[in-house]
């Protein structure tokens, strides 16, 4: 898995916080730079390095995404001294970030998801028909069982129920921040998740599923995230 590192421009010496950015299914990691995501980190004087990761669709198709994130991104980052690792994921990248948090409890300091893919609409409809995520019981599988190597969408939603107060699923959950456009094609499922998150961790904007909306959301979210600031 190819990565590139953007070092913090304002910290004296090494920083202990890393923002890992995962693109959408048909985006390249360099688009985070081109679209201003990395620049926004600098402008907000955040003392964190940024890693751009080529977590492309192939890793999801062959179900190696979680193994590769662990071996190629998180484990080496720990070895380099990063104590606080956040994943910032767009669309499929947000889905991957949540899967990683589910299967690697305690490893992430936080999770930012922008217009995350959350499965087929029929699954969201089942959750909505049940009265929302807090009332949805899910399918007949044991939520306390160890998650598989790569959970499916239904198993992810079961884990997300922990944000609605259900604590019988395995592992700790990092703080989860959600942003999406109100006309995004994933807005229906994103709203179901938003309804169980603290309001201060949910951000919406006009528009759909594209970089202008994500950039606007990112710039609104950044100042609210519990990230270290640059000295001075």
Tell me: the pLDDT tens digits for 102-132? 999 999 999 999 999 999 999 999 999 999 9
Degrees, nearest 5: CA angle 72-29-97: 60
For residue 231, report the phi and psi dihedrals to the nearest 5 degrees: -65, 155
pLDDT of residue 139: 66
Sheet strand arrangement including 49-53 = 3-6, 49-53, 17-22, 84-90, 110-114, 176-181, 202-205
- What was the pLDDT predicted at 167? 55
Residue 143, pLDDT above cutoff 50 = no
Share of the chain above pLDDT 70, in %: 91
What average pLDDT score do residues 7-22 get? 90
Q: Could you give the domains of the chain?
A: 3-224 (3.40.50.1820)
Residue 77, pLDDT above cutoff 50: yes
CA max distance for the chain: 54
CA distance 91 to 22: 9
**211-to-59, 113, 121, 154, 217 alpha-carbon distances in Å:** 22, 14, 23, 28, 10
Q: Please, which pLDDT band fits residue 208 given cuts at 50, 70 and 90? A: very high
Q: Is the pTM of this model over 0.85?
A: yes
**What is the pLDDT averaged over residues 217-228?**
98
- Is the torsion defined by CA of 148, 26, 93, 181 positive or negative? negative
pLDDT band for 171, please (50, 70, 90 cuts).
low
Query: Contact at 8 Å (CB) between 115 and 190?
Result: yes
């Amino acid at each position: 898995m190819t990565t590139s590192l953007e070092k913090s421009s304002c910290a004296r010496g090494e920083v202990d916080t890393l923002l890992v950015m995962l693109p959408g299914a048909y985006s390249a990691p360099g688009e985070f730079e081109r679209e201003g995501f990395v620049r926004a980190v600098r402008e907000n004087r955040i003392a964190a390095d940024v890693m751009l990761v080529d977590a492309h669709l192939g890793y999801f198709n062959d179900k190696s995404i979680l193994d590769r994130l662990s071996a190629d991104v998180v484990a080496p980052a720990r070895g380099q001294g990063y104590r606080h690792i956040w994943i910032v994921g767009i669309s499929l990248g947000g889905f991957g970030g949540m899967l990683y948090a589910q299967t690697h409890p305690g490893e992430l300091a936080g999770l930012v998801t922008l217009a995350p893919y959350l499965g087929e609409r029929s699954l969201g409809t089942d959750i909505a028909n049940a009265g929302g995520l807090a009332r949805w019981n899910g399918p007949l599988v044991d939520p306390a069982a160890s998650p598989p190597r790569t959970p499916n969408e239904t198993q992810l939603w079961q884990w997300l129920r922990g944000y609605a107060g259900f604590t019988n699923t395995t592992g700790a959950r990092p703080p989860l921040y959600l942003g999406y456009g109100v006309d995004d094609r994933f807005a229906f499922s994103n709203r179901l998740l938003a309804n169980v998150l603290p309001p201060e961790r949910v951000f919406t904007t006009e528009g759909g599923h594209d970089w202008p909306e994500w950039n606007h959301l990112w710039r609104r979210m950044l100042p609210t995230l519990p990230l270290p600031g640059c000295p001075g």
